[in-house]
Amino acid sequence: MCGSYIKLKALALILLFTQLQSCASTTTFPGIARQGDTISVMVAGSNRVKKETISVVLTDAVGAEWDLSTMGLVRSVFNLRPDGRAEGMHYSAYFDTFLPWAFGHEPVQTVLIADLPNSNVAPGNASLTIGVLETDNSAGAAYPITVQLEIIAGQGQQELFPVQGPGGESMDFSRLEPAPYMELNFAACTENIGAASIIINFDETVVNPDDINVYSPESTVRGTAITSGAFGETQRMIFWHNDGQNLLIDIVAPQGIKPLFLQLFAMHPSSVIGNPSFALTSSDVYDVNGDKTSCTPTLEYFP
């Protein structure tokens, strides 16, 4: 994705600064808007919530309600992450970096972009109530979330977020949303993992094997809530390839990595029609002494 999205610069800076100060935040930006305006809302941090599984209800100053989700006014839900070199990623308080992993995902700030209704919204103090329609793993807040918003008089307009540069294009928020993915999670395992060899089958008649990519977030958590400790405990090396029908994944962590900090995702393009039928066909997990454990990771698919 090329170009810089000038209308998002201030928003991104504020969101990322907020994320580095705590697990996740819940607030609107801007906090004042007119009917018809575009707003962004920080809705804690989750790697599962998306616009198809979120409910957003606006309640204005006189108690009138608008379901922005059913009205088609929720434009996007996506996650932001800070620069991997950011000081807050490495030198924040222990719980700020640990808690998202305890909830099942890397530290993220979830952002919702929505348009307000064009007419009949009463000026004054309003609120947005945000809920989720399926099981979620949000860190930092429990749904439903209620955030405050002041509606002022006047007619607003939808923000198109033009791209800086030639062409005059508008930002395509769908490019920031997750592609369909499979998640492999080791959190149910009880012993530190020294190595693992995983084979995942998929239907090559549904998805082009060359279009599958693997992503594994890496934790910067160190020490405990009592002692700061040294970095390096969450290091791991991952090597993978596919043979046209299977993903073959090898993981090495000689020092031993806590299962909580080991996750893998396999993505494919949203243009794929049908279910690739990812299936865990082989899983050998070893402890730091090289002994095979009873650990079996869980596999879930999110279209």
DSSP for 61-93 reads TTS-EEETTTTT-EEEEEEE---TT-HHHHHS-
Binned at pLDDT 50, 70 and 90, residue 108 comes out as confident
Mean pLDDT of the 85-109 span: 85
CATH class of the domain comprising 6-176: mainly beta
Q: What pLDDT was estimated at residue 195?
A: 97
In this structure, which topology does domain 181-302 adopt according to CATH? Immunoglobulin-like (2.60.40)
Mean pLDDT of the 79-99 span: 86
pLDDT of 2 over the 70 cut:
no
* Euclidean distance between the first and the last CA atom of the chain, given in angstroms as a whole number: 22
**Structure tokens of 146?**
């209620």
Q: What pLDDT was estimated at residue 50?
A: 87
The answer to whether 189 and 293 have CB atoms below 8 angstroms apart is: yes
Binned at pLDDT 50, 70 and 90, residue 135 comes out as low
pLDDT of 144 over the 60 cut:
yes
Q: Regarding beta strands 237-242 and 246-257, do their DSSP bridges make them parallel or antiparallel, or are they unpaired? A: antiparallel
The 3-state DSSP composition of the chain as helix, strand, coil percent (nearest 5) reads 15, 40, 50
Among candidates 236, 244, 237, 248, which has minimal Cα distance to 280? Answer: 248
Q: What is the mean pLDDT of the chain?
A: 86
What tens digit of pLDDT does each residue of 150-172 get? 999 999 988 887 776 666 677 78
Binned at pLDDT 50, 70 and 90, residue 115 comes out as very high
Judge whether 6-176 and 181-302 match in fold: yes
Each domain of the chain, given as residue ranges in start order, spans 6-176, 181-302
Mean pLDDT of the 85-103 span: 86
Q: What is the pTM of this model?
A: 0.83
Q: What pLDDT was estimated at residue 187?
A: 87
What tens digit of pLDDT does each residue of 19-78 get? 444 445 555 556 889 999 999 988 878 888 888 888 999 999 999 999 999 999 999 999
Q: What pLDDT was estimated at residue 80?
A: 87
Q: What pLDDT was estimated at residue 28?
A: 57
pLDDT of 216 over the 80 cut:
yes
User: Phi then psi for 274, rounded to 5 degrees?
Assistant: 105, 175
Q: What pLDDT was estimated at residue 196?
A: 97
Higher pLDDT, 16 or 75: 75
pLDDT of 256 over the 90 cut:
yes
Q: Where are the beta strands (DSSP E) in the chain?
A: 26-29, 32-35, 38-43, 54-59, 65-67, 74-80, 109-115, 124-132, 145-155, 181-185, 193-201, 213-215, 237-242, 246-257, 263-267, 279-286, 298-302
Q: What pLDDT was estimated at residue 165?
A: 62
